[in-house]
Structure formats: structure tokens, C-alpha cells
């Protein structure tokens, strides 16, 4: 696996979101339902510090209170064309989202595959969720509809690394911004839950990327992505998992936060700063990559594809992706914090007017001083002998 965050991460940032781009999926023949997916892949959105309200019997999120160990809880949000009465479903637990019920180092056998499905049913991942009727045409006789639903959801809605390579960008949030994400996601499921609408997944206008992107937009990370556009227009501009991963890594690491004039000119960054007191680019935004389970009886994991929606000859995404996964500041917590320590030192020297009045500059100066002190404290904590070792992300 490439990408490090460390045992310190949840202590520093108990609330964080992680946008995940998943490769194609190819199931081996002869076991269960044969499944293959496209090389465009799939998106998941993992939210740390959030859990399911299990009293609802339907996917409803609730935010963990700051005094309720938010760093140890989380859910993975998945959008799928299967659903009829929901836009998204959620699987609880970071480890379960990625590796199902596998123990560390355990191979993916048929027994482990079945054990993971039993665990998903016990957790109620699909409680209250209905699938479109046409999906059951291929259901084997003798298999219940519920079993079939869980069977065709493995490695897409939960246990993603069973059959897919994963690429992730995680970004720290605070309680208020995570609350905005929770409210947004609960809100978009509401009309499907009460029967006002039937959910119909649309590649160009309402796919997994739209939901993940717009959930992060609710937290002020970037501008929302419109849905319901005219087909011919949307087909040339829609969120693609691997593109979104790159865009998020750069948005949260590379805005010139040491330059208040440049921040003021970025409308979305300015609005987020004035509304929440934070900027989209901040310490702790890290990328990571992890392959599908290698010892694998169930899925073909050779050369899993995940494409960019980009010109293959001179498009920028391939080069941006390579830079993210080779520069330590995008991958390692210590390197990331040291990078931002330098940026904030530069920012504190920037006392020139932005041209938009003293109010913005004063707030900016206070922000830079606050964040610089926080980063210094985090680095000191990491450097303490034997304290909070930096490890590979699970």
C-alpha cells in the first residue's frame, strides 16, 4: 500500500471525509453471481465521526458527538443503480468497508466471502432498501431476494477491496462541516424513503460521483456539481471517480493559502472561509492507494483498470495523479505538516492589504496564526519519543 497517515491521524482529526475511487470489478466464474463492471470504476465516500441511526430501519446518518469517541467510528456511503427507494446506502466500520470480515493477512476464500455477507446482513447494510424489480430477473431459483441483494452488492457497497483496487484522498473536517455533510446526505435520501420519488441512477446526471462531490461541496470544499443537466451537455462534463480523487487532492493541498489576495479571488474558497472560518486547503489532506486482496479465490484481480475522463495524449490528469503518488507531502502526515508549517510562516509575513478592506485581512491573519500554532503542536506531538507513530493507512 502507498500512503501514510498514522496512528496520530484520528487523534488530530477525528472528523474526516475520504473520497475513494475504486477500479473495475471482475468476478471469477463458478462461484455465486457472475459480476463485471466498467473501467470507469466506482466512488465511495467514507465519513469518520459518523454512524448509522439503527433505530430507523433505513439508511439514516447521525453525527457522533465530540465526547463520544468520533475518531473510532465511521460509515462508507455508496451510490448504486440497484436502489429503488434510496440514493445511497451505508456500511459501518472502516475495516468492514474495505476488507469485509477478513482478518489481517487472511486470504479471500469462499468461506470468508460468505462470512462477510452474513456479517453485512447482521449489520443491516441494506435494511429498508428496495432494489429495482428488473434486477431480480437473473436471480437463481432457490436464492431469496435478500440474499441476492447482498450477493450483488459485495465489493461495491461493502468489502470494496475484495475485488477492486482503491485510491483515496482524505480531508480533515470539524464537527460543523461534517454536520453539513450528514444533513445533505440525509436530505437527498428523504424523498425516496417516503415514496415521493423513485431513484433512477443516471451516469451523466446522478451517479456516485455527483453525490460524493456534492456532499463535500456542502462542507465548503468546492462548488457543487449540477444534476439534471441536458444530456448532451452533461455527457461532456460529469464527475468521474479517478478525476475527482485527483481534483480533491489538489484542491485540499495546493491552493496558495499563503497569498490572501489569491484566496480572496477564489470565490468558493472565500465563501467557505467567511462562512466556516476554514479554507479548503489545510493540513492533513492525504492520498493513499491499496490493491485488491491478493490471495483471492473469488475475484480476478489482474490488471484492474480505472480510467481518467481525459485526453490520453496531452490531458493533465495522468501527470497530476503521478505527482500526487510520488511527492511525500501528499502521502505522509509528517511531510504534509512540515509543508504547511512553511506555508503558514509565509502567510504570517503577508500583511499587505487584499484590496477588499481590512476585515478580510484581519480574519486571515488570525486564521494563519491559529493554524500555524496548531501545526507546530502536532509536529511536536509526532516528534515525541515513542509517541503516536506514523503507520500505513489501513
**pLDDT tens across 239-291, in order?**
789 999 999 999 999 999 999 889 999 999 999 999 999 999 999 999 999 99
Contacts of 265 (CB under 8 A, 6+ apart): none
Give me the sign of the Cα torsion angle 220, 59, 139, 298.
positive
Predicted pLDDT at 361:
85
Distance CA 81, CA 202 (A): 8
**Neighbouring-strand partners of residue 289:** 2, 167
Distance CA 198, CA 195 (A): 7
Predicted pLDDT at 239:
73
In which band, very low, low, confident or very high, does the pLDDT at 94 lie, cut at 50, 70 and 90? very high
**pLDDT tens across 285-316, in order?**
999 999 999 999 999 999 999 999 887 777 89
Residue that wins the pLDDT comparison between 249 and 236: 249
Residue 289: how many other CB atoms lie within 10 Å:
17
> What's the mean pLDDT in 205-227?
91
Annotate 76-87 with b (16+ C-beta within 10 A) or e (fewer).
Answer: bbbbbebbebbb
Average pLDDT over the chain reads 91
Residue that wins the pLDDT comparison between 275 and 354: 275
In which band, very low, low, confident or very high, does the pLDDT at 234 lie, cut at 50, 70 and 90? low
Residue that wins the pLDDT comparison between 51 and 30: 51
Predicted pLDDT at 229:
67
Annotate 133-145 with b (16+ C-beta within 10 A) or e (fewer).
Answer: eebeeebeeeeee
Predicted pLDDT at 393:
47
Distance CA 225, CA 222 (A): 9
Predicted pLDDT at 151:
96
Q: Residue 358 class from Cβ within 10 Å (0-12 exposed, 13-18 middle, 19+ buried)?
A: exposed
Predicted pLDDT at 353:
52
Q: Are strands 286-290 and 74-78 parallel, antiparallel or unpaired?
A: unpaired
Predicted pLDDT at 228:
72
* Selection from 238, 233, 231 nearest residue 211 by Cα: 238
Amino acid at each position: 500500500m502507498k500512503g501514510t497517515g498514522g496512528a496520530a491521524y484520528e487523534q488530530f482529526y477525528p472528523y474526516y471525509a475520504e473520497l475513494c475511487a475504486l477500479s473495475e470489478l471482475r468476478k471469477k466464474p463458478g462461484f455465486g453471481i457472475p459480476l463485471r463492471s466498467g473501467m470507469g470504476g466506482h466512488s465511495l465516500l467514507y465519513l469518520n465521526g459518523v454512524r448509522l441511526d439503527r433505530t430507523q430501519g433505513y439508511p439514516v446518518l447521525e453525527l457522533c458527538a465530540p465526547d463520544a469517541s468520533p475518531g473510532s467510528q465511521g460509515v462508507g456511503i455508496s451510490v448504486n443503480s440497484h436502489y429503488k427507494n434510496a440514493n445511497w446506502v451505508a456500511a459501518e466500520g472502516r475495516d468492514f468497508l474495505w476488507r469485509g470480515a477478513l482478518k489481517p493477512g487472511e486470504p479471500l476464500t469462499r468461506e470468508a466471502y460468505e462470512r462477510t455477507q452474513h456479517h453485512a446482513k447482521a449489520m443491516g447494510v441494506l435494511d429498508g432498501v428496495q432494489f429495482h424489480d428488473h434486477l431480480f430477473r437473473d436471480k437463481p431459483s432457490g436464492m431469496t431476494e435478500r440474499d441476492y441483494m447482498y450477493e450483488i452488492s459485495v465489493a461495491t457497497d461493502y468489502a470494496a477491496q475484495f475485488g477492486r483496487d482503491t485510491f483515496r484522498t482524505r480531508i480533515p473536517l470539524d464537527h460543523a462541516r461534517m454536520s453539513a455533510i450528514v444533513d445533505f446526505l440525509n436530505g437527498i435520501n428523504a424523498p425516496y424513503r417516503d415514496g415521493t420519488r423513485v431513484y433512477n441512477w443516471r451516469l451523466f446526471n446522478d451517479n456516485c460521483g455527483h453525490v460524493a462531490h456534492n456532499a463535500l461541496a456542502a462542507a465548503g470544499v468546492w462548488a457543487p456539481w449540477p444534476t439534471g443537466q441536458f444530456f448532451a451537455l452533461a455527457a461532456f462534463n460529469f464527475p468521474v471517480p479517478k478525476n475527482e480523487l485527483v481534483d480533491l487532492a489538489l484542491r485540499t493541498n495546493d491552493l496558495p493559502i499563503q497569498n490572501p489576495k489569491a484566496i480572496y479571488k477564489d470565490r468558493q474558497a472565500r465563501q467557505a472561509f467567511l462562512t466556516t472560518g476554514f479554507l479548503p486547503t489545510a493540513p492533513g489532506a492525504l492520498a493513499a492507494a491499496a490493491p485488491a486482496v491478493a490471495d483471492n479465490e473469488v475475484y480476478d484481480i489482474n490488471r484492474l483498470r480505472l480510467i481518467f475522463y481525459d485526453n490520453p495524449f496531452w490531458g493533465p490528469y495522468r501527470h497530476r495523479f503521478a505527482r500526487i503518488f510520488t511527492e511525500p507531502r501528499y502521502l505522509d502526515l509528517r511531510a504534509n505538516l512540515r509543508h504547511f508549517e512553511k506555508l503558514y510562516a509565509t502567510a504570517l509575513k503577508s500583511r499587505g492589504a487584499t484590496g477588499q478592506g481590512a476585515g478580510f485581512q484581519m480574519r486571515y491573519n488570525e486564521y494563519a496564526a491559529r493554524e500555524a500554532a496548531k501545526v507546530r503542536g502536532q509536529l511536536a506531538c509526532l516528534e515525541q519519543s515513542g509517541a503516536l507513530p506514523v503507520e500505513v493507512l489501513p
